[in-house]
Amino acid sequence: MTATSIAFLLNGQPTALPAATSPTTSLLDWLRGTAQGGPGLTGTKEGCAEGDCGACTVVLEEPDGRRTPINACLTLLGQLHGRAIRTVEGLRGPDGAPHPIQVAMAESDGTQCGFCTPGIVMSAWAHCRTGGDPHEALAGNLCRCTGYRPIVEVFERLEDDGARLPAAAFPPPAAARFEAPGQAFHLPATLDELLALRAAHPGAWLLAGGTDLGLRVSDHREVPAEVICLLNVPEMHAVEASPAGLRLGAAVSYARMLRACRDVIGLVGLEGLLARLGSRQIRGLGTLGGNLGTASPIGDALPPLVALGATVTLASVRGRRELPVEQFLTGYRRNALAPDEVILSVFLPAPPPGAHFACEKISKRHDQDIATVGAAMLVDMEGGVVTTARLAFGGVAATVVRARSAEAALLGRPFDAAAVADAARALEADIAPLSDWRGSAAYRLAVAQGLLHRLQLRATRPGLPTHVMAVMEGV
C-alpha cells in the first residue's frame, strides 16, 4: 500500500499532516508545536507526560455524539487518522466568546494559577454530555492550588451544551500506511489485513489504546520503527451481550466495557472495579486486549477474567484458537501469544444466578492508582454448601494466580467463618507476594485473607457494613 498522510478533524477543521510527519509523535507535542511543525495550540498543557495529571486532556468527538476525554500526552498522531479531536481552543464560540464552562470556572473561583484549568474544562465539556459522578469525572485531573470544592460545584451544575458547536463529520475508516524516516505505521481496516501485517512484521509494536505503549514514547522517548495499529478493524470493537455472558472485541475501550457490563446480569460486580481503572481519560483509550497483552500482575481486569473462567480468542493467518485466560497468562508480563498472533476477543461468562461475585482493588488512593492487591472471587452454593469457588488474586505473585488451595478449603462446606479461616490459612500456600513500596509481603497476604473474610460476611450477612467508610459512618 502506498503511504498517505495522517488526516483528522481538529476543532472541526479537516487537518492533513505533511507526509513524513512521525506517526508516533504524541498529540501533545504536536499540538503545542514543540514537534513536527504543529499548530502551536498551547492551551493544552504538559504536566507529567505520563497520563496521570490530566493537564493535557483533549476530547475525542465520537461519531455517535459521545465525547471521550483522553490524554494527549499518550495519544500518538497515527492513532488519530479518521478521528475528531477538540482542544480547549475549539470551545470558543463563533464570536470568539469563551464557553459557558470557562465562564463558570472563572466566576466560581474554580481556577487560581490556571495551569490545570484547560484540562479540567475539557473534562467538564465531556462530562456535560456523559453525566455521572463529578468526582469520577475529575479523577484524572490534578489541581494543586485551587482546591476541588469550587471545581466540583461547577461540574455539579453542568448541562449538555447541545449543538453549540457543529457536529463533526467523519470519513469512513479506510486502511492507511504512514511513513517517516526510519518509521512505518500501518492502520489496517480489516482483520485479514491486520493478520497479514502481523505475520509479515512479528516484531512491530501492536498498538491499541496506547496507554501502556504510549508511555514508552512520552516517558522513555522510544521511536518504534514499525507499528501496527488495530483500532480501525471493526471485529476488534464488537460487543455481544447475552444471558450467557459478554463477548468483547479486544480493542473495546474500558469506557465501553463498563457500559456493556450493565447489560449482563451478574457482571455488575465488575462495574465498580472498572470505574476505578485509571481515570476517564485512561478508560477512554485503554482496552482489555491491552491489559492482557501487557500481562502485568497488577492489571485490574485480569483477576475478574480468571475468576469468571473467561476465554481469549487468538487469531493469526494460521487460524483461530481459544484459551482460558488462566492459561494465556504464563508469567511476569508474559503471555501465550505467538509472534504472528493477535488477541481478537474475550468472552466473560456470566456468573451462575445467585452466585456471589466480588471484585476488589486495594490501593493507596481510591482513584487513578495502581492496585497493591487485586482480587476477584466467585463463590456459588447449593443447599448451603459451597459448590463453586474460583478465587483470583493480583499483586501477590509474578502473575495473576488462582488460589487453588484456598478454593479446596471452601468446597463442600458451609460458607461460614470456620471455612473461611481455613481458606485464609491455605492462601499462604497459593500466593508469593513481594515487598515493595506499595506494601510488604505480610501486608499483601493479610489483605488477600481479609478480602476472603469480607466476601463471606457480605454473602452471609447482607447489610453488614464491610467498608471502612460505612463503618466510620456508624451504619
Ligand X SMILES: Cc1cc2nc3c(=O)[nH]c(=O)nc-3n(C[C@H](O)[C@H](O)[C@H](O)COP(=O)(O)OP(=O)(O)OC[C@H]3O[C@@H](n4cnc5c(N)ncnc54)[C@H](O)[C@@H]3O)c2cc1C
Sign of the torsion formed by the C-alpha atoms of 448, 449, 451 and 455: positive
Q: Would you list the DSSP string of 4-55?
A: ---EEEETTEEEEPPTT--TTSBHHHHHHTSSTT----TTS--SSSSSSS-T
Residue 50 or 62: the one with the smaller Cβ distance to ligand X is: 50
Residue 75 or 449: the one with the smaller Cβ distance to ligand FES is: 75
28 binds ligand X (CB under 6 A): no
CB of 333 to ligand X, least distance (A): 9
In three-state secondary structure terms, 364 is: coil
284 binds ligand FES (CB under 6 A): no
331 binds ligand FES (CB under 6 A): no
Q: How far apart are CA 44 and CA 39, in angstroms?
A: 12
Among 56, 142, 195, 208, binds ligand X (CB under 6 A): 208
Each residue of 10-35: b (16+ CB within 10 Å) or e? bbbeebebeeebbbbbbbbbbbbeee
| Among 17-25, 58-66, 103-111, 199-207, the segment contacting ligand X (CB under 6 A) | 199-207
Joined together, the cell numbers standing for residue 21 give 510527519
Q: How far apart are CA 383 and CA 260, in angstroms?
A: 32
Strand-pairing partners, residue 381, are: 386
* 207: Cβ contacts below 8 Å, ≥ 6 apart: 76, 78, 79, 213, 227, 228, 229, 230, 231
CB of 191 to ligand X, least distance (A): 11
Residue 122 or 403: the one with the smaller Cβ distance to ligand FES is: 122
Residue 53 or 274: the one with the smaller Cβ distance to ligand FES is: 53
Residue 148 or 170: the one with the smaller Cβ distance to ligand FES is: 148
56 binds ligand FES (CB under 6 A): yes
34 binds ligand FES (CB under 6 A): no
Return the DSSP state at 95. T
CB of 410 to ligand X, least distance (A): 27
300 binds ligand X (CB under 6 A): yes
Among 53, 255, 373, 424, binds ligand FES (CB under 6 A): 53
Say which entry of ligand FES, ligand X, none residue 308 contacts (CB below 5 to 8 A, set by partner kind). none
* 241: Cβ contacts below 8 Å, ≥ 6 apart: 260, 263, 264
52 binds ligand FES (CB under 6 A): yes
Report the 10 Å Cβ neighbour count for 182: 10
Interface characters, 232-271, with ligand X (x: CB under 6 A): ------------------x---------------------
CB of 138 to ligand X, least distance (A): 15
- Residue 133, classified by CB atoms within 10 Å of its CB into exposed (0-12), middle (13-18) or buried (19+), is exposed
Q: How far apart are CA 161 and CA 104, in angstroms?
A: 13
Q: Is 309 within 8 Å of 388 (Cβ atoms)?
A: no
Q: How far apart are CA 240 and CA 331, in angstroms?
A: 30
User: Do the strands 245-249 and 239-242 form a parallel or antiparallel pair, or are they unpaired?
Assistant: antiparallel
282 binds ligand X (CB under 6 A): yes
* 133: Cβ contacts below 8 Å, ≥ 6 apart: none
CB of 32 to ligand FES, least distance (A): 11
Say which entry of ligand X, ligand FES, none residue 22 contacts (CB below 5 to 8 A, set by partner kind). none
Among 5, 294, 405, 460, binds ligand X (CB under 6 A): 294
49 binds ligand FES (CB under 6 A): yes
Q: In the range 43-82, which residues lie near ligand X by CB under 6 A?
A: 50-52
Among 6, 91, 105, 116, binds ligand FES (CB under 6 A): 116
Residue 82 or 290: the one with the smaller Cβ distance to ligand X is: 290
Residue 31 or 337: the one with the smaller Cβ distance to ligand X is: 337
349 φ, ψ (degrees, to nearest 5): -70, 140
| Among 14-22, 138-146, 299-307, 320-328, the segment contacting ligand FES (CB under 6 A) | 138-146
Q: In the range 325-354, which residues lie near ligand X by CB under 6 A?
A: 337, 342-343
Among 27, 139, 264, 277, binds ligand X (CB under 6 A): 277
Look at residues 35, 10, 12 and name the one whose alpha carbon lies nearest to residue 23. Answer: 35
Q: How far apart are CA 249 and CA 346, in angstroms?
A: 6
Residue 113 or 464: the one with the smaller Cβ distance to ligand FES is: 113
In three-state secondary structure terms, 97 is: coil
- Residue numbers at the binding site for ligand X (CB under 6 A): 50-52, 205-213, 215, 230, 250, 277-278, 282, 285-287, 289-291, 293-294, 299-300, 337, 342-343, 370
- Residue numbers at the binding site for ligand FES (CB under 6 A): 46-49, 51-56, 71, 73, 111-117, 143-146
